Amino acid sequence: MSKLIDSITLVRENSAVETLRNRLVPKKVEIFIWRARRGRIPVRLELDKRGIDLHSVRCPVCDGGIESVEHILFSCQFAQDVWLKVLNWWGYNTSIFGFDDIFNGTFGSLATDNKKFLWQAVCWIVCYLLWKNRNEKVFKNKIRAVPSLNLEIQTLSFDWLSRRQNWHKLEWHNWIKNRENCRKAKEAADKDSRKPPA
């Protein structure tokens, strides 16, 4: 289905972007990322462009800028604090990056080939949970603490990954402390699954 969508939208729209896939995350996350890359999530700036009368287009989370896709997922002070925690968790010593860096490979080049797919999945989960956090603020007037959201990122990514084929041996302490051991365990599981039955 995504190939069919790409074949239609890439021809019809000059600004269309190719659909990215990552089998490590649920479809709802893939769809969210696809919509976010196309500017199709209802941030206040996009709603204002469509003529919807809002009392403000400022970010509801930090009130520090105009709420665009880039802002709510990366530039917002809350988002930056969350990303810093995630970057530290993965052992990356770098400054905050932007939306394009995740998808154009600029930031992904920091990861080894073996870790890129895992890192991409985590980045997508971070974006998805930042958006959910924004919606909780808008619709329920609740805001999460950064450590709480960071723990949910680690927990949810572990839960989703451990339910995927050949990832059932994933251990929590490896996921939290050492993703390299986690990757090696996954490669060993893949080799075992390719062996013919005795």
| pLDDT of res. 92 | 79
Number of other CB atoms surrounding residue 38 within 10 Å = 15
Residues 6 or more apart whose Cβ sits within 8 Å of residue 134? 60, 61, 72
Nearest to 170 by CA among 178, 187, 182: 182
Q: 51 or 111: which carries more pLDDT confidence?
A: 51
Taking the whole predicted model, whether its pTM rises above 0.85 is answered as: no
Q: What local confidence, expressed as pLDDT, does residue 76 receive?
A: 93
pLDDT at 14 over 50: no
Nearest residue to 192 (alpha-carbon basis) of 171, 168, 176, 160: 168
**pLDDT tens digits along 94-140:** 766 777 777 655 555 555 555 777 888 899 999 999 999 999 999 99
Q: What is the pLDDT of residue 197?
A: 46
Following CA atoms 34, 37, 42, 46 in sequence, which dihedral angle do they give, to the nearest 10 degrees?
-150
Structure confidence at residue 126 (pLDDT): 95
Confidence of residue 62 (pLDDT cuts 50, 70, 90): very high
pLDDT (average), residues 164-174:
73
Q: What percent of the chain has pLDDT over 70?
A: 69
Q: Could you tell me what percent of the chain has a pLDDT over 90?
A: 34
pLDDT at residue 23 in the model: 77
pLDDT digits (tens, 9 = 90+) for 72-81: 999 999 999 9
For residue 198, name the pLDDT band (cuts at 50, 70, 90).
very low
